[in-house]
């Protein structure tokens, strides 16, 4: 029997950015766009983040003022780019300042932590924020949080797929949610020959779980994919996974694969074609049966968790090798670890040069109209 390799394309989800203004214009007349997103941390507190994208001119004297939601209690300012300064929290506002944001770049997240009363469940998905700047001309944009409630995600979930791939109710081959995990899975037709169960499980990130001897890496997410029955995948697959923090859109990642032992194999593509967080937060929305592209949002921001209208995440190219081997009918599985460089995370900046590697020369366009999950995989 001829040998066939499993081919897997991966997208990791990040957080959901909500619109701060209409993005009908995405050319040089756009000075700055921004979005905010929230995620529930492991201890039950909530992290809110703001990310910026600049147009064709350097923006100077930028102020980011994020609004603490009603019913929330401020806990701490958590993370922000090394080029920024934390002004602090006064009343219901958390403020940061950036002296200069170069043209055609993405900066953030600016993150703070809050807590809500124990019985409170109407946790907003994003926060209002006001961004002002002085140069090249003074300007201001106001964020309007996305409507909806933020809910905890399940640690595991599964989906059954047959030879038709992942289909929605209209019979279209699209990415589908995996239970209540916030994960989306896209499987093309003729990837599996018979009904197959795909199970995803998030694994806590501890020193004992992540790859050893990997220096200078901050781990975004660790998860296991199991397939029953264990089969050869005849087409590439793509999926997005919520991660534990919001990271800068477009950051390069390192991805490692384990097949059940202590040996981890790096499966990232070469730096010339980097694994990167890629936003998908501007998906078409359905309104009375009409598909409309509106509002900025981002889910799966580089490394972040939660199901949003879109997803931001990391993608790695197809690779030869069998993640799910033939084990006499047993469930095949493998574990992925995804991380980013510690210094890159601290800079929290993606420049035009970074974006060009991803096939984009416009930070605002990349931020606002990212590729969909289906654009990452093509039939073989």
Cβ–Cβ < 8 Å for 50, 110: yes
Q: pLDDT category, 332, cuts 50, 70, 90?
A: low
Q: How far is 264 from 269, CA to CA, in rounded Å?
A: 15
Q: How far is 107 from 345, CA to CA, in rounded Å?
A: 11
Please state, as a whole number, how many other Cβ atoms lie within 10 Å of the Cβ of residue 43.
7
Q: How far is 45 from 118, CA to CA, in rounded Å?
A: 10
pTM of the model: 0.80
- Residue 20 DSSP one-character state: S
The DSSP string of 244-295 is: SS---TT-BEEEEEESSSS-EEE-PPPTTS--EEEEE----EEETTEEE---
CA atoms in the 13 A half-sphere facing the CB of 238: 24
**Top-ranked range on mean pLDDT: pick from 192-196, 255-259, 267-271, 354-358:** 192-196
Residue 58 pLDDT > 90: yes
Report the pLDDT averaged over residues 94-113. Answer: 96
pLDDT value of position 247: 83
Share of the chain above pLDDT 70, in %: 70
The two structure tokens encoding residue 89: 């929290």
Chain mean position to CA 302? 4
pLDDT value of position 260: 65
pLDDT value of position 261: 64
Cβ–Cβ < 8 Å for 135, 59: yes
Residue 277 pLDDT > 80: no
Within 8 A by CB and 6+ apart from 345, the residues are: 218, 247, 248, 251
Residue 27 pLDDT > 70: no
- Burial of residue 65, with CB atoms counted within 10 A of its CB: 0-12 exposed, 13-18 middle, 19 or more buried: buried
273 vs 150, which has greater pLDDT?
Answer: 150
The verdict on whether omega for the bond into residue 109 sits within 30 degrees of 0, i.e. cis, is yes
pLDDT value of position 113: 98
Q: pLDDT category, 252, cuts 50, 70, 90?
A: confident
The two structure tokens encoding residue 173: 């081959």
pLDDT digits (tens, 9 = 90+) for 144-195: 666 789 989 899 999 999 999 999 999 999 989 999 988 888 899 998 889 9
Q: How far is 371 from 380, CA to CA, in rounded Å?
A: 20
> b/e map of 328-350 (b: 16 or more CB within 10 Å)?
eeeebbbbbbbbbbeebbebbbb
273: nearest Cα among 247, 252, 249: 252
158: nearest Cα among 130, 187, 139, 181: 181
Q: How far is 351 from 189, CA to CA, in rounded Å?
A: 37
Q: Which domains does the chain have, with CATH numbers?
A: 10-15+153-376 (no CATH), 32-142 (2.60.40.1170)
pLDDT digits (tens, 9 = 90+) for 346-359: 999 999 888 877 67
Q: What angle do CA 338, 341, 343 make, to 5 degrees?
A: 155
Q: How far is 163 from 301, CA to CA, in rounded Å?
A: 31
Q: How far is 58 from 25, CA to CA, in rounded Å?
A: 18
Q: How far is 198 from 332, CA to CA, in rounded Å?
A: 10
């Amino acid at each position: 029997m001829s040998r066939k390799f499993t081919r897997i394309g991966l997208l990791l989800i990040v957080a959901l950015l909500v619109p701060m203004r209409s993005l009908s214009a995405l050319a040089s007349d756009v000075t700055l766009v921004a979005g905010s997103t929230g995620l529930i941390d492991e201890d039950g507190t909530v992290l809110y983040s703001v990310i910026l994208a600049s147009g064709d001119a350097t923006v100077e004297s930028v102020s980011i003022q994020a609004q603490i939601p009603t019913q929330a209690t401020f806990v701490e300012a958590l993370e922000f780019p090394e080029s920024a300064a934390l002004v602090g929290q006064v009343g219901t506002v958390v403020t940061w300042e950036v002296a200069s944001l170069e043209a055609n770049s993405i900066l953030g997240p600016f993150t703070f932590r809050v807590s809500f009363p124990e019985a409170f469940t109407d946790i907003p998905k994003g926060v209002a924020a006001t961004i002002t700047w002085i140069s090249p001309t003074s300007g201001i944009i106001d964020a309007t949080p996305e409507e909806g409630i933020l809910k905890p995600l399940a640690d595991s979930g599964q989906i059954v797929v047959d030879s038709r791939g992942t289909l929605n109710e209209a019979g279209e081959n699209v990415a589908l949610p995996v239970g209540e995990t916030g994960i989306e899975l896209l499987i093309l037709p003729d990837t599996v020959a018979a009904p197959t169960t795909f199970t995803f499980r998030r694994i806590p990130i501890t020193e004992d779980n992540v790859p050893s001897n990997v220096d200078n890496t901050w781990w975004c997410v660790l998860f296991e994919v199991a397939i029953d029955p264990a089969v050869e995948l005849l087409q590439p697959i793509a999926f997005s996974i919520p991660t534990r923090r919001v990271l800068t859109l477009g950051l390069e990642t390192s991805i490692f694969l384990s097949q059940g032992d202590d040996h981890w194999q790096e499966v990232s593509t070469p730096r010339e074609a980097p694994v990167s967080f890629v936003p998908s937060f501007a998906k078409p929305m359905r309104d009375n049966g009409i598909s409309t592209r509106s509002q900025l949002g981002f889910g799966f921001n580089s490394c972040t968790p939660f199901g949003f209208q879109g997803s931001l995440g990391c993608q790695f190219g197809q690779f030869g090798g069998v993640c799910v081997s033939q084990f006499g009918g047993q469930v095949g599985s493998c574990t992925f670890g995804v991380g980013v460089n510690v210094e890159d995370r601290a800079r929290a900046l993606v420049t035009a040069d970074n974006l060009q590697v991803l096939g984009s020369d416009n930070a605002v366009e990349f931020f606002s109209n990212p590729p969909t999950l289906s654009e990452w995989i093509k039939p073989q």
